[in-house]
């Protein structure tokens, strides 16, 4: 077994582990089932990747999102580590070839989406693959009490029954005690299992909540006061574009990101943001998973999410480099009342669900008693419009069908295009002479895709466009021209969401769901909303403490930098003393930006915490702004 510190150094270039990483890795290497609860950006992936590299054999990684699997796989490949990925967007021959490579090739990781675990093909190859470790990423998905329950995750327990001696490591960024217990139970953890939970304290992250007269004006005020990269989360695709346009008009570089954009547009926006060509990403919650940008200074929630788990994970994308950062929740009385209405909207009644299920099956043109195992591209707005169902109701019904194990919904399946040459070399040469503008494209295809003359091969137009320094549109035109002339068989890829049927369509008079479980989930959702509204309305308790207690982290201390802590401390400081300090700060920085360390030295006749309190208050009120990293200047100067 290889030395884990050396593996860390060789592949990641780090000299030491982050808190709890070594303990978790050693537990896994000792053969213990382990649950690791580490905050967003806390280095969860290393906790299964390093023990897998230290052990003989291959690590089986179960992950819910194709984009997340691909991101992790690409990061490992860049480090020279051999990785395979199997997901729902792949065809039978591709899956078979990949599983064969996993069984007989020199690979260390096999990423698998949960719905693949019980397929006959996977079960056929599993004995030959012989995993030495099973890693369950986003493990909260296995619990019906979690915020992203996916019934397909329950299949992992059957995998465990077939591999009883293979240790499991489950990883998540956030889980209540109820969800932690459920994860251990559903994964059939052994009696010697270990649970590792890092504190939910983020000492550099200042949480705050505002009820502004205008959310748009408040966002502009915040982003003018706090320099650096940021994310603004909102609940609708339309709003992301509107807010991005607002920021651009106010000379704040921004981009919109949501599932309705093409894969190429999303990738382009994401890369610009990561490279700091765009300062602010305005996004639905489709953005952020698997992205590790350490210098995010601000995360603003324009709309309130559904639960504290989501809020903590999204807010936690700020300040991963350890520098002072801000997580800001904007809300209004009406939006909090709307959350109560969400309860009935999120879990519609039986008759509504029955009607929506029938409409969905008719939309997919599936006959009663058939359909299990079939997958379909799915346009939610088109479905809702065709059957005169409101979008919120359609989304809620689909979530219930997912929780009931009736369907699996994959957002943005991102199936690659496929191409196969249908002519011999001589005919291809004749085509090149007739259409010389296509010659370079043809040569690039032959050079990059081995076997494309004999097999249908997946390809991505965006990669070809990058290689040929042209646009994806031009690549597609070239491929369509070749198809029109009978040179190739070309099927354009799909980036639409995909619905997979996990069981045959029920006859209308036999439609059934587990109403008892539905009521329990509804009550659990009610409790999640109450916790979130409590957080938004809280004015006394430290916000970091509130979040920590929700996740059963009872040892967490007041952060001293959230809006509630600042307000409490301000009230404790003698009001005249506070005014004197604030006035002295404003005078000191009136002429030129001044470093905070200089301010503390200049005002050393006052306690440091009182000076800090005044600084944070002036920043929060927008009277001073931070510039050049750690300097302050008066607003408007």
Residue-wise pLDDT tens digits, 328-362: 999 876 655 666 677 888 889 999 999 999 999 99
CA distances from 470 to 201, 265, 347 (A): 48, 15, 48
Predicted confidence (pLDDT) at residue 614 exceeds the cutoff of 70: yes
User: What is the CATH code of the structural domain delimited by 4-197?
Assistant: 3.40.50.300
Out of 85-89, 287-291, 296-300, 500-504, which region has the weakest mean confidence (pLDDT)?
287-291
> What percent of the chain stands above pLDDT 70?
95
User: What is the CATH code of the structural domain delimited by 417-491?
Assistant: 1.10.10
CA distances from 440 to 421, 446, 459, 554 (A): 15, 10, 16, 64
Average of pLDDT values for 255-265? 82
Mean per-residue pLDDT of the chain: 88
Out of 86-90, 168-172, 432-436, which region has the weakest mean confidence (pLDDT)?
86-90
Predicted confidence (pLDDT) at residue 618 exceeds the cutoff of 90: no
CATH 3.40.50.300 domain extents, the chain: 4-197, 205-331
Give the separation between CA 254 and CA 278, rounded to whole angstroms: 5
Give the separation between CA 505 and CA 508, rounded to whole angstroms: 9
Q: According to DSSP H, which parts of 455-514 are helical?
A: 461-468, 472-484
Give the separation between CA 171 and CA 154, rounded to whole angstroms: 15
User: pLDDT value at position 463?
Assistant: 75
User: What is the CATH code of the structural domain delimited by 339-413+497-526?
Assistant: 1.10.10.10
Residue 428 token pair: 């291809």
Q: According to DSSP H, which parts of 321-438 are helical?
A: 333-346, 350-364, 380-386, 391-403, 425-434
Residue 2 token pair: 């290889």
Q: What residues are paired with 173 via a beta bridge?
A: none
Q: Are 243 and 302 in contact (CB under 8 A)?
A: yes
> What's the fold here for domain 573-634?
Arc Repressor Mutant, subunit A (1.10.10)
Q: What residues are paired with 28 via a beta bridge?
A: none
Out of 32-36, 126-130, 487-491, which region has the weakest mean confidence (pLDDT)?
487-491
Task: Please calculate the CA angle 61-87-417 and round it to the nearest 5 degrees.
Answer: 145
Model confidence over 393-440: pLDDT tens digits? Answer: 898 999 899 888 899 877 655 567 888 898 888 899 999 999 999 999
Judged on CB neighbours under 10 Å (0-12, 13-18, 19+), 396 is buried
Give the separation between CA 85 and CA 73, rounded to whole angstroms: 7
Predicted confidence (pLDDT) at residue 87 exceeds the cutoff of 80: no
CATH class of domain segment(s) 205-331: alpha beta
Nearest to 139 by CA among 81, 185, 85: 185
Q: Tell me the torsion sign for CA atoms 301, 305, 308, 314.
A: negative
Q: Are 78 and 130 in contact (CB under 8 A)?
A: no
Out of 259-263, 361-365, 553-557, 615-619, which region has the weakest mean confidence (pLDDT)?
259-263
CA distances from 149 to 355, 399, 543, 615 (A): 23, 9, 26, 43
Output the 3-class SS for 130-167: CEEEEEECCHHHHCCCCCCCCHHHHHHHHHHHHCCCCC
Average of pLDDT values for 154-167? 89
Give the separation between CA 98 and CA 107, rounded to whole angstroms: 11
- Map residue 235 onto helix, strand or coil: coil
Nearest to 318 by CA among 288, 293, 297, 303: 297
CATH 1.10.10.10 domain extents, the chain: 339-413+497-526, 573-634
Model confidence over 289-318: pLDDT tens digits? Answer: 667 788 999 999 998 888 899 899 899 999
- pLDDT class for 633, splitting at 50, 70, 90? confident
For 390, phi then psi, to 5°, come to -65, 145
User: pLDDT value at position 492?
Assistant: 81
User: pLDDT value at position 535?
Assistant: 93
Average of pLDDT values for 436-447? 90
DSSP β-ladder status, 194-197 and 34-37 = parallel
Q: What residues are paired with 116 via a beta bridge?
A: none
């Amino acid at each position: 077994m290889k030395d884990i510190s050396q593996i860390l150094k060789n592949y990641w270039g780090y000299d030491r582990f982050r808190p709890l990483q070594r303990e978790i890795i050693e537990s896994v290497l000792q053969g213990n089932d382990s649950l690791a609860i580490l905050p967003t950006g806390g280095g969860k992936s290393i906790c299964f990747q390093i023990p897998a590299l230290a052990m003989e054999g291959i690590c089986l990684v179960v992950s819910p999102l194709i984009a997340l699997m691909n991101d992790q796989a690409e990061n490992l490949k860049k480090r020279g580590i051999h990785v395979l990925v199997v997901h729902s967007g792949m065809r039978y021959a591709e899956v078979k070839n990949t599983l064969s490579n996993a069984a007989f090739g020199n690979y260390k990781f096999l990423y698998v989406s949960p719905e693949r675990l019980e397929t006959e093909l996977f079960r056929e190859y599993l004995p030959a693959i012989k995993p030495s470790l099973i890693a369950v990423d986003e493990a909260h998905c296995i619990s019906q009490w979690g915020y992203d329950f996916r019934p397909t995750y329950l299949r992992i327990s059957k995998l465990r029954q077939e591999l009883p001696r293979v240790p499991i490591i489950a990883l998540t960024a956030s889980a209540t005690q109820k969800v932690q217990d459920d994860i251990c139970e559903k994964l059939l953890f052994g009696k010697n299992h270990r649970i590792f939970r890092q504190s939910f304290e983020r000492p550099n992250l200042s949480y705050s909540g505002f009820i502004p007269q205008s959310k748009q004006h408040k966002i502009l005020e915040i982003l003018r006061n706090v320099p650096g990269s940021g994310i603004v989360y909102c609940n609708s695709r339309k709003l992301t574009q509107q807010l991005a346009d607002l920021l651009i008009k106010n000379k704040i570089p921004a981009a919109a990101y949501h599932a309705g954009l093409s894969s190429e547009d999303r990738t382009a926006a994401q890369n610009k943001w990561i490279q700091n060509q765009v300062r602010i990403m305005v996004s639905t919650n489709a953005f952020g998973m698997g992205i590790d940008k350490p210098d995010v200074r601000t995360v603003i929630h324009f709309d309130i999410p559904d639960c504290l788990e989501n809020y903590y994970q999204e807010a936690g994308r700020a300040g991963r480099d350890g520098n002072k950062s801000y997580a800001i929740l904007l809300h209004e009385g009406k939006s909090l009342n709307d959350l109560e209405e969400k309860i009935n909207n999120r879990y519609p009644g039986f008759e509504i669900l029955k009607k929506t299920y029938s409409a969905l099956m008719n939309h997919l043109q599936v006959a009663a008693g058939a359909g299990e195992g079939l997958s379909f591209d799915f346009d939610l707005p088109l479905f809702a419009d065709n059957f005169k169902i409101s979008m919120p109701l359609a989304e809620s019904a689909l979530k219930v069908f997912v929780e009931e194990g009736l369907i699996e919904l994959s957002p943005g399946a991102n199936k690659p295009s496929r191409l196969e040459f249908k002519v011999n070399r001589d005919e291809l040469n004749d085509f090149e002479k007739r259409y010389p503008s296509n010659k370079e494209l043809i040569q690039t295809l032959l050079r990059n895709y081995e076997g494309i003359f004999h097999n249908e091969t997946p390809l991505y137009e965006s990669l070809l466009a990058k290689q040929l320094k042209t646009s994806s549109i031009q690549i597609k035109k070239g491929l369509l021209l070749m198809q029109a002339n009978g040179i190739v068989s070309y099927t354009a890829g799909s980036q639409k969401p995909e619905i997979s049927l996990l069981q045959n369509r029920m006859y209308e008079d036999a439609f059934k769901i587990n109403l008892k479980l539905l009521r329990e989930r509804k009550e659990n959702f009610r409790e999640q909303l109450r916790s979130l509204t409590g957080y938004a309305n809280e004015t006394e308790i430290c916000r970091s403490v509130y979040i920590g207690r929700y996740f059963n982290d009872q040892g967490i201390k007041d952060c001293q930098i959230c809006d509630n802590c600042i307000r409490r401390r301000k009230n404790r400081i003698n009001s005249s003393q506070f005014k004197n300090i604030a006035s002295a700060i404003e005078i000191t920085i009136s002429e030129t930006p001044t470093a905070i360390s200089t301010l503390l030295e200049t005002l050393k006749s006052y306690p440091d915490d009182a000076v800090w309190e005044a600084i944070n208050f002036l920043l929060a009120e927008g009277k001073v702004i931070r510039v050049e990293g750690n300097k302050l200047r008066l607003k408007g100067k």
